[in-house]
Amino acid sequence: MPIKVDFLARVDYEPTYAAMQKFTAERTESTPDTIWICEHAPVYTQGLAGKKEHIFNPGDIPVVATNRGGQVTYHGPGQVVAYPLLDLKRAGYFVKEYVYRIEEAVIRTLLHFGVTGHRVAGAPGIYVRLDDPAGHALLPQRPVKLGSDPAAQRNGSGPNFSGLGKIAALGIKVSRNCTYHGVALNVAMDLEPYSRINPCGYAGLQTVDLSTMGAFASWQEVAEVFSQKLTSYLAP
């Protein structure tokens, strides 16, 4: 059965999180896979690995502890958030491929708007070259198969974000082979709240959106393209 898409518009984070958990707990083998597309009021969400020291000045923005993977991120107006609620067993692929497929949907969406997205070894999410957002040159720190490119191996030194900005953040949860939480793609935001945290736990990691990269599109335009790419790339 095809993946269903529900556009929820702007919704508060905590009720949406609770609804995802309820949907996943109550779903059966016949429950259709669904992607929720929405936008949130300003909120910091902390993953299971989250450390308090990565949020140093939340101000009046609430901080919500969640059960997704990863560290702290920010959600706010001007960001397209996608929550795929999928049965991976039925889809026929595993978590690692699921993450790859989500990232591919982000990359294809960015390409539609003239921006080139990149993966970085050891750091889920999608990144953009700050000096050449539309350039296609490969990153030296891209993920590679072990042994295929010795020069590109990171030797355990951690991801290298020099010259890069993060444009999409990923945080997922899988329960009984079913996914929730998801991915946030920055369109045209107030990026200041990112300066009050270490995004995804990385000090000094710059966060960007499509508009700062010179690509101007409405939230609705990006949401529609992104939902199409997700349904295509997450299909069984």
Roughly what angle, to the nearest 10 degrees, separates helices 219-233 and 95-112? 140
Question: Which tens digits make up the pLDDT trace of 6-63?
Answer: 999 999 999 999 999 999 999 999 999 999 999 999 999 999 989 999 999 999 999 9
Please tell me which residue in 200, 210, 213, 234 is annotated as part of the active site. 200
The count of domains in the chain is 1
Question: Which tens digits make up the pLDDT trace of 99-156?
Answer: 999 999 999 999 999 999 999 999 999 999 999 999 999 998 888 765 544 444 444 5
pTM for the full predicted model: 0.94
Give the helix ranges, DSSP H, for the chain: 13-26, 88-91, 95-112, 219-233
Partners of 35 in the beta sheet?
Answer: 5, 84
Write down the pLDDT at residue 141.
Answer: 87
Parent domain of 60: 4-115+167-233
Q: Residue 109 domain-assigned?
A: yes
Question: Which CATH number do you get for residue 58?
Answer: 3.30.930.10
SS3 138: coil
What is the percent of the chain with per-residue pLDDT over 90, rounded to a whole number?
A: 88
Tell me which H or E stretch contains 175: strand 164-175
Residue 226 pLDDT more than 90?
yes
Residue 75 pLDDT more than 70?
yes
Q: Residue 201 domain-assigned?
A: yes
Q: Are strands 164-175 and 206-207 parallel, antiparallel or unpaired?
A: parallel
Write down the pLDDT at residue 146.
Answer: 57
Query: Is position 200 annotated as part of the catalytic site?
Result: yes
Q: Residue 141 domain-assigned?
A: no
d(CA 105, CA 228): 9
Q: Residue 82 domain-assigned?
A: yes
Write down the pLDDT at residue 157.
Answer: 64
